[in-house]
Amino acid sequence: MSTNITWHPSLSRHERNQLRGQRGLTIWFTGLSASGKSTVATALEQHLLHIGLSAYRLDGDNVRFGLNKDLGFSETDRNENIRRIAEVAKLFADSSTIALTSFISPYRADRQIARDLHADATQGGDDALPFIEVFVDIPLAEAEKRDPKGLYKKARAGEIKDFTGISAPYEAPEAPEITIRTDLLSVEESVKKIVDYLAEKGLITETKETR
């Protein structure tokens, strides 16, 4: 780690939020493969953009093929994968953008690191960086039944090592801000549940519909 670097202050987060007219935050989707994380996150991103809020989704397609293309799926690499994603999400949130992350992120300790990074980014009475954990809960049997990419089948056959839920653990959140059962709720209902939570907590306010 470099020691010859100095932090240069700039606009406060509060000023940036005021100028951009919205609050920056991170919504962290976690759950098994095929639980519906990316589907709900994509629909939420579309909804937020539609109502005039800046949002951006980070997922395996735009992270694993670029920033994290040097990482595999060992526990060590998974840890580093999540650490990098958390740092990028924090930067998006700091820019007054709603960052949506859609990753299995199977370990509680890694998700706690992501949460702590956001909490520690607030200094001097500036606006906080909210971190909203969304547990996309689904029974393993239902995820295996969906299996859109055939990954569970390959994992059961031993063709994929360290596959979450089969040969690697998934540690479910103990106190997520939001829990969604995608086997019981539609995509639209899932998005509404998240939007209602954000509005109730005052994290999103003015929209095209209410101006």
CA separation for the pair 52, 189 (Å, rounded): 20
Q: Which of 105, 167, 186, 190 is catalytic?
A: 105
Number of neighbouring beta carbons within 10 Å of residue 52 = 14
The three-point CA angle 76-84-72 to 5° equals: 40
Name which of 133, 113, 184 is nearest 30 in CA terms. Answer: 133
| 8 Å CB contact between 96 and 131 | no
Number of neighbouring beta carbons within 10 Å of residue 198 = 22
105 is catalytic: yes
CA separation for the pair 197, 189 (Å, rounded): 12
Amino acid occupying residue 172: A
Q: Is 154 left (phi over 0), alpha (psi -120 to 50) or beta?
A: alpha
Point out the residues that are catalytic.
105
